């Protein structure tokens, strides 16, 4: 008797892929710097700092501030950032245009979906819930869900396993070189999200690029046929 294959699994990065979170990340970055009596920062300056988790973002903010920030304890600054960001994470952030329609189309085609993000899992789940996106995803693999995080391929592989999938029936969608690197290392095809925050050179190594999230259902179907 033939057994059916596991469902296809589309794994999405979060910031810059599903959600335009720059407004709130940048507002909190500006707030943090001002708390330390450092010059503020613009959203465009924060954009390239996103993608490696909160601790790295805060470290980059303090590096950007120059020698005046050398005295600041970075762990304490990260804690302060998260304490302020968590209740304000959805003040101005929104799903990218076409996100809900894309998730609905994938669901209708029989795909399961998951999130793999370097953002702490509790914060990620709260944002998805507030934006009414949580229902589409079978699991969320956050930056603190496992012992590793992107670009380590085990972050993606563990998220796939947690979702009940297998890597041979999965693909990754993300806007950062971390997404490309972890998918490549996991031998999973990856769609580079050109609509996100990643610089154009970060697409290197991706299986294919997409200018809009609305292209994902078609490309996903080509990469992992039913």
Query: pLDDT, tens digit, for every residue of 165-216?
Result: 999 999 999 999 999 999 999 999 999 999 999 999 999 999 999 999 999 9
Does the active-site annotation cover 13? yes
Q: Average pLDDT in the 136-147 region?
A: 97
Q: What pLDDT is attached to residue 3?
A: 55
Q: What pLDDT is attached to residue 51?
A: 86
What is the pLDDT of the chain when averaged over all its residues?
Answer: 95
Kindly write down the DSSP assignment for every residue of the chain, as one continuous string: ---PPPPPEEEE--BTTTEE-HHHHHHHHHHHHHHTT-----HHHHGGGTTS-HHHHHHHHHHHH-GGGTTS-HHHHHHHHHHHHGGGTTSS-EEPTTHHHHHHHHHHTT-EEEEE-SS-HHHHHHHHHHTT-GGG-SEEE-TTSSS--TTSHHHHHHHHHHTT--GGGEEEEESSHHHHHHHHHTT--EEEETTSSS-GGGGTT-SEEESSGGGHHHHHHHHS--
Q: Average pLDDT in the 135-157 region?
A: 97
R_g of the chain computed on alpha carbons: 18
Could you tell me what percent of the chain has a pLDDT over 70? 98
Would the pLDDT of 6 be above 90?
no
For the stretch 106-132, pLDDT in tens is: 999 999 999 999 999 999 999 999 999
Return the closest-CA partner of residue 220 out of 9, 15, 4.
9
Residue 202: other Cβ atoms inside 10 A: 23
Characterize 28-38 residue by residue with b for buried, 16 or more Cβ atoms within 10 angstroms of its Cβ, and e for exposed.
bbbbbbeeeeb
CB 55 within 8 A of CB 49: no
Could you tell me what percent of the chain has a pLDDT over 90? 95
Q: What pLDDT is attached to residue 140?
A: 98
> In angstroms, rounded to a whole number, what is the distance separating the alpha carbons of residues 112 and 47?
30
Q: Average pLDDT in the 24-33 region?
A: 97
For the stretch 91-106, pLDDT in tens is: 999 999 999 999 999 9
> Residue 1 — very low, low, confident or very high, per pLDDT cuts 50/70/90?
very low
Catalytic residue among 13, 30, 175, 179: 13
Report all structural domains of the chain as residue ranges with CATH numbers, in order of start. Answer: 9-20+94-223 (3.40.50.1000), 22-88 (1.10.150.240)
Q: pTM of the entire structure?
A: 0.92
């Amino acid at each position: 008797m033939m057994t059916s294959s596991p469902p296809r699994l589309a794994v999405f990065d979060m910031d810059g892929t599903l959600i335009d979170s720059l407004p709130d990340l940048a507002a909190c970055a500006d707030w943090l710097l001002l708390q330390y009596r450092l010059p503020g920062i613009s959203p465009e300056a924060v954009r390239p700092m996103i993608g490696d988790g909160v601790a790295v973002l805060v470290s980059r903010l303090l590096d950007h501030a120059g020698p005046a920030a050398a005295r600041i304890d970075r762990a304490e600054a990260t804690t302060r950032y998260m304490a302020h960001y968590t209740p304000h994470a959805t003040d101005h952030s929104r799903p990218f245009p076409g996100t809900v329609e894309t998730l609905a189309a994938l669901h209708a085609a029989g795909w399961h979906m998951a999130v793999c993000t370097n953002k702490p899992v509790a914060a990620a789940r709260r944002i998805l819930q507030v934006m009414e996106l949580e229902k589409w995803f079978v699991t969320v693999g956050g930056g603190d869900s496992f012992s590793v995080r992107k670009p380590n391929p085990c972050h993606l592989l563990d998220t796939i396993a947690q979702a009940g999938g297998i890597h041979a029936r999965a693909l990754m969608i993300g806007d950062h070189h971390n997404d490309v690197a972890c998918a490549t290392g996991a031998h999973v095809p990856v769609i580079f999200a050109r609509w996100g925050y990643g610089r154009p050179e970060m697409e290197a190594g991706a299986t294919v690029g997409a200018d809009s999230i609305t292209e994902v259902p078609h490309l996903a179907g080509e990469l992992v046929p039913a």
